Amino acid sequence: MTESTLQLGRAAALPSSPEEAVLDRVPNPHPDTNYVARFTVPEFTSLCPVTGQPDFAHLVIDYVPDRHLVESKSLKLYLGSFRNHGAFHEDCTVAIGKRLVAELAPRYLRIAGYWYPRGGIPIDVFWQTGEVPAGLWLPETGVAPYRGRG
């Protein structure tokens, strides 16, 4: 992908579906170094595939890039495309992780989906590609488990 084809720096509409969304990638300026890049998405939204009601989650995506980084505007548009997408919590969380792996081929990726309760039950979904690379500091996600009002 060349700089002229990136969505960054130009108007880009919210894709109508995750499948339609384009994830841009850029060269990793430090491909010789293991480090964690974190995206925190506190207002992720999708639709329940049964009722059509909105579902909300706090996502934390950590990855160790290899040759490429995901460009953050394209990631924001991709994640925003789920607003009108019907899928269960587990499907959304794992699909996002797998799509990022397919596009970036990172050395490691984990995604944590902390979903707000529907029907009185919060559902937290976690997925990762394998073991954390040796010697890498990977902080906790920083999201507390659901405790209701108390």
State the CATH number of the domain containing residue 41: 3.30.1130.10
Where helices occur in the chain by DSSP H, the ranges are 72-80, 89-104
Residue 79 lies in a domain: yes
> What does the alpha-carbon distance between residue 98 and residue 23 come to, in Å, rounded to a whole number?
13
Lowest mean pLDDT among 38-52, 88-102, 135-149: 135-149
Kindly indicate the confidence band of residue 130, based on its pLDDT and cuts at 50, 70 and 90: very high
Is 141 strand, coil or helix? Answer: coil
- Asked whether the beta carbons of 7 and 74 are under 8 A apart, the reply is yes
Judged against a pLDDT cut of 70, whether residue 2 lies above it is answered with no
Residue 47 lies in a domain: yes
Total number of domains constituting the chain: 1
Q: Residue 78: which domain range? A: 14-128
Just list the catalytic residues.
48, 55
Query: For the chain, what is the largest distance between any 2 Cα atoms, rounded to a whole number of angstroms?
Result: 50
Residue 4 lies in a domain: no
Residue 5 lies in a domain: no
- Asked whether the beta carbons of 55 and 115 are under 8 A apart, the reply is yes
Residue 7 lies in a domain: no
Residue 32 lies in a domain: yes
Closest to 124 (Cα-Cα) out of 61, 79, 80, 59: 59
pLDDT of residue 75: 98
Residue 149 lies in a domain: no
pLDDT of residue 150: 58
pLDDT of residue 94: 98
Judged against a pLDDT cut of 60, whether residue 111 lies above it is answered with yes
Name the amino acid, one letter, at 90: E
pLDDT of residue 61: 98
Name the amino acid, one letter, at 82: F
> What does the alpha-carbon distance between residue 59 and residue 102 come to, in Å, rounded to a whole number?
19
pLDDT digits (tens, 9 = 90+) for 25-60: 999 999 999 999 999 999 999 999 999 999 999 999
Residue 146 lies in a domain: no
> What does the alpha-carbon distance between residue 90 and residue 92 come to, in Å, rounded to a whole number?
6
CB proximity list for 110: less than 8 A, separation 6 or greater: 61, 62, 63, 97, 126, 127, 128, 129, 138
